[in-house]
Amino acid sequence: MSLNGITIQKDEKGNPKKATFDLKKHPYIEDYLDNLLIDAAKDEERVPFEDVKKKILKKLSSKKKTGGV
């Protein structure tokens, strides 16, 4: 099934499984999907940026010491 810039793919039983959007025709859809993700994550635990940065730097430095990439 194809609408103006939207394609819906169905499985063998005819159930909708996937939608593809032409972002040139529907540029707002990306913002809508971003907002869905933000809303879904609103109750997740927050980790301060500095903690994440330290963890990444520690992991990178340990890989350099062991010769890993």
- Radius of gyration of the chain from Cα atoms? 21
Over 10-68, what HEC string results?
A: ECCCCCEEEEEECCCCCCHHHHHHHHHHHHHCCCCCCCCHHHHHHHHHHHHHHHHHHCC
Distance CA 52, CA 60 (A): 12
Per-residue pLDDT of the chain (69 residues; tens, 9 = 90+): 557 889 999 999 999 999 999 999 998 999 999 999 999 999 999 999 999 999 999 999 987 777 665
> Quick one: which of 37, 38, 28, 39 has its CA closest to 6?
28
For position 3, what pLDDT does the model report? 73
Residue 59, pLDDT score:
92
pLDDT of residue 62: 86
Q: In the chain, where are the structural domains located?
A: 2-66
pTM to 2 decimal places: 0.47
